[in-house]
Amino acid sequence: MRTFEWAYTNYRDVVLRFAIQCVGRRELAEEIAAEAFLELHQHWASIQTDRLPSWLFTVVKNRAADYWRRRELEKRYVVAETQVSERPKYAEGTGLFDNAALKPVHRICLTLRYVHDMSLREIAQRLGLNEMQIKGHLQYARAILRKQFSA
């Protein structure tokens, strides 16, 4: 009977290459491949080893599709917010990235995420915070902007 270690050793490189093809960024592909192997480990007892590596490819493909959907949604949100901010009724200093209602850390997080296209991990490393803090800052900033621009 084959073990999880055997599967990881034999399929890690090919799964990582497939993930890179799916998302185009190595650091993100590494995360997706790691998640696929984590899921394999969690479901090891119920998975037939003759279905590997196709089972892993399916998990990677689904995670990559989730990434692209989330990414498209974020882009649409930024475009919608930008269109709202172009309305002349708001005073200067109330745009998306120079908004006076936001603290500097929120403006930096928004800029790095949506202007420089950085992942949560990259922003966290850059600012010396953890990913959960970055996620919280982004959520808070989007809530402030949503409230301000929908009024």
Whether 118 is in a domain gets the answer yes
User: Which residue, 71, 95, 125, sits at the end of a domain?
Assistant: 71
Q: How far apart are the C-alpha atoms of 43 and 56, rounded to whole Å?
A: 12
Return the CATH number at 60: 1.10.1740
> How many domains does the chain fold into?
2
Helix/strand/coil for 128: coil
CA distance 13 to 36: 13
Closest CA to 110 of 134, 138, 131, 74: 138
Q: Which two tokens stand for residue 119?
A: 């992942």
Q: What is the pLDDT of residues 41-54, one digit of tens each?
A: 999 999 888 889 99
- Residue after which a domain boundary falls, among 71, 100, 120: 71
| Per-residue pLDDT tens digits for 112-142 | 888 888 899 999 998 899 999 999 999 998 8
Q: Please tell me the predicted confidence (pLDDT) of residue 103.
A: 87
What band does 91 get if pLDDT is binned at 50, 70 and 90?
very low
Domain with 20, as residue range(s), is: 1-71
The CATH code of the domain that includes 97 is: 1.10.10.10
Give the whole-angstrom CA distance, residue 94 versus residue 84.
11
